[in-house]
Amino acid sequence: MELKGEEVYTGWAYSTGRDLYSETWSVDMPPSTAFVKTYLCDHVLFGENGSVEIGILNIRYHLPDNSDGRVNLPGLEWPDSVKAWFNSNITHFTFAIKVRQCYALMSCSVGYWG
C-alpha cells in the first residue's frame, strides 16, 4: 500500500476567560482508505490555568454491505482523546479543539492510501 495523496485542514480557537471554548469541523469524502491525524501547531497561554486539547470526535465509514458504520470517540477529555484513526472505507470525520485561557492552532491531515 502506498500514499496516494494528502489533504491538510487547520482550525483555531481562543478563550480569554476561565470557561472552556471548543470548535469542531466535519469533513465528508467518498469512501477512502485513509489515515486521519491531528496535530497541535501553536498555542499561547493567557494565564497559569490555560489549557488546550485536540482530537477526532467521530468517524463514519462504509461496511462491506455498503451500509454506514459510525464510531463515536471519547471526545476531548485527556487522556482519552483520540489523535489519529485509520480505516479502509472512511466517508466522514469530525475533528475538534478545546481551549481555556489560551489561543491555539491545530491541523488535521488525511493521508489517502491505495
What is the pTM for the complete model shown?
0.93
| Residue-averaged pLDDT of the chain | 96
Beta carbons of 112 and 31 less than 8 angstroms apart: no
Which CATH topology does 3-113 take?
Jelly Rolls (2.60.120)
pLDDT tens for residues 49-92? Answer: 999 999 999 999 999 998 999 999 999 988 899 999 999 999 99
Beta carbons of 24 and 108 less than 8 angstroms apart: no
pLDDT tens for residues 41-52? Answer: 999 999 889 999
- Torsion angle in degrees (nearest 10) through CA of 52, 17, 105, 36: 50
Q: Distance between CA atoms of 52 and 15, rounded to whole angstroms?
A: 10
Does residue 18 register a pLDDT over 90?
Answer: no
Q: Distance between CA atoms of 57 and 51, rounded to whole angstroms?
A: 18
